[in-house]
């Protein structure tokens, strides 16, 4: 039986690792045979289609693990592009390729170029995004709209363009809601990652090489986000059925504390687990208890903690969450044995 640190490390690794084959396995649950995915964007996407780039990682991951689907992945990024540029070349670089899925990842230059008076006005940005989406949908393509990422990696809000970038990302979120297309909130994902990994409040070097363009780790991270978006573009058949039936996903953790723990340490550990519900919003419900069985078959396990999620995606967001990692750091060394079981509720 593994110790808690070992078992939890496996769980965290499963959800948070950057090994793209895992993400690909999930992504292809929603991709159809012969799908053609086009990534439309600026220099980040242009570089992403090269060696070590996020577009290349997506292509390689899908090709390696799900060759039978024959999914074609196309990079359509051009350096310096803004929303009006994408509108002008949509037919040539995207629609002419007859895509089934188009990922629009834009916004950095629309904001960044404002420092030289060449940015995109907010109204033109909003109308342009809506126009892109409408034309792609008319051609039969499904759209995933991304928010912009970062112009500076500082986590205290002191990057010069943080405020303006957030305003443009809000426009993207609003357009996605209005046009009823899937939103991939890269801005939120990047900020969350940086908050956890950029303790030195550096302006670059974590996910970017120059405050904007991705380094090796940034390309891996972005590829994971893109593959996840393809996964959740439509719920899997099993999840649709579960949701329709009102079923929930239970995450059950059985633990045995080490014999040398004080009652205070056990109480602190219990409180730490209970506190996760107030820190991680994807948790639908939480309950826990201690063994009172008279059969004597608990095999040393004394505590059961049960976390409920609406979807597998929520469970997968919970595992690598910063609050969950903090909990594991505190409680992990105190556990002798752990058993984890997940199941969908049934009648």
Domain map (residue ranges) of the chain:
31-234, 241-344
The 10s digit of each residue's pLDDT in 41-78 is 999 999 999 999 999 999 998 888 778 889 999 999 99
Token pair, residue 319, equals: 């595992």
For residue 252, which phi and psi values (nearest 5 degrees)? -105, 130
Neighbours of 125 (CB within 10 A): 23
The 10s digit of each residue's pLDDT in 136-162 is 999 999 999 999 999 999 999 999 999
Query: DSSP assignment, residue 298?
Result: S
Dihedral (Cα; 285, 291, 292, 296), 10-degree rounding: 140
Are 38 and 9 in contact, with CB atoms under 8 Å apart? no
Q: Find residue 251's DSSP bridge partners.
A: 307, 342
> What is the pLDDT, as a whole number, of residue 110?
98
The pLDDT of residue 236 is above 60: no
> Whole-angstrom Cα distance, residue 103 to residue 40?
6
Q: 241-344 is classed in which CATH architecture?
A: 2-Layer Sandwich (3.30)
Token pair, residue 321, equals: 């969450």
Half-sphere exposure of residue 310, counting CA atoms within 13 Å on the CB side? 8
Query: DSSP assignment, residue 34?
Result: T
- Fold that domain 31-234 belongs to in CATH: Rossmann fold (3.40.50)
Among residues 263, 230, 249, the alpha carbon closest in space to that of 311 is found at 249
> What is the pLDDT, as a whole number, of residue 20?
40
pLDDT band at 1 (very low <50, low <70, confident <90, very high): very low
> What is the pLDDT, as a whole number, of residue 233?
44
Indicate the average pLDDT of the chain. Answer: 88
> What is the pLDDT, as a whole number, of residue 327?
94
The pLDDT of residue 179 is above 50: yes
Task: Look at 317 and 216; give whichever has higher pLDDT.
Answer: 216
**Cβ within 8 Å of residue 94, ≥6 positions away:** 38, 40, 76, 102, 136
**Cβ within 8 Å of residue 278, ≥6 positions away:** none
**Cβ within 8 Å of residue 256, ≥6 positions away:** 300, 301, 302, 303, 335, 336, 337, 338
Do 241-344 and 31-234 fall under one CATH topology? no
> Whole-angstrom Cα distance, residue 211 to residue 150?
7
DSSP states of 43-85: HHHHHHTSTT-HHHHHHHHHHHH-GGG--EEEEEE-TT--HHH
The pLDDT of residue 238 is above 70: no
Percent of the chain with pLDDT over 70: 86
């Amino acid at each position: 039986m593994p110790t808690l640190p070992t078992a939890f490390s496996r769980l965290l690794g499963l959800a948070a690792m950057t090994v793209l084959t895992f993400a690909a396995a999930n992504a292809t649950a929603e991709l159809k045979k012969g799908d053609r995915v086009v990534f439309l964007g600026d220099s980040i996407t242009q570089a992403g289609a090269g060696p070590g780039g996020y577009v290349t990682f997506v292509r390689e991951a899908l090709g390696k693990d799900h060759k039978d689907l024959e999914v074609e992945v196309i990079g359509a990024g051009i350096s310096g592009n803004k929303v009006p540029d994408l509108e002008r070349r949509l037919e040539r670089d995207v629609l002419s390729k007859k895509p089934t899925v188009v990922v629009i990842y834009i916004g950095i230059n629309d904001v960044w170029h404002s420092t030289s008076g060449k940015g995109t006005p907010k109204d033109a940005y909003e109308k342009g995004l809506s126009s892109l989406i409408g034309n792609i949908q008319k051609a039969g393509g499904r759209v995933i709209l991304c928010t912009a990422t970062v112009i500076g990696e500082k986590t205290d809000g002191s990057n010069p363009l943080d405020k303006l970038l957030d305003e443009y990302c809000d426009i993207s979120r609003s357009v996605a809601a209005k046009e009823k297309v899937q939103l991939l909130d890269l801005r939120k994902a990047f900020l969350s990652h940086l908050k956890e990994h950029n303790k030195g409040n550096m302006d670059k070097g974590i996910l970017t090489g120059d405050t904007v363009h991705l380094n090796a780790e940034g390309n891996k991270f972005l590829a994971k986000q893109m593959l996840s978006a393809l996964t959740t573009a439509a719920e899997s058949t099993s999840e649709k059925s579960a949701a329709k039936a009102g079923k929930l996903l239970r995450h059950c953790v059985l633990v045995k504390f080490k014999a040398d723990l004080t009652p205070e340490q056990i109480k602190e550990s219990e409180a730490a687990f209970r506190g996760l519900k107030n820190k991680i919003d994807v948790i639908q419900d939480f309950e826990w208890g201690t063994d009172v069985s008279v059969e004597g078959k608990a095999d040393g396990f004394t505590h059961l903690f049960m976390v409920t999620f609406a979807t597998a995606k929520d469970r997968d967001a919970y595992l690598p969450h910063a609050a969950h990692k903090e909990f594991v750091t505190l409680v992990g060394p105190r556990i002798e044995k752990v058993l984890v079981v997940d199941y969908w509720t049934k009648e």
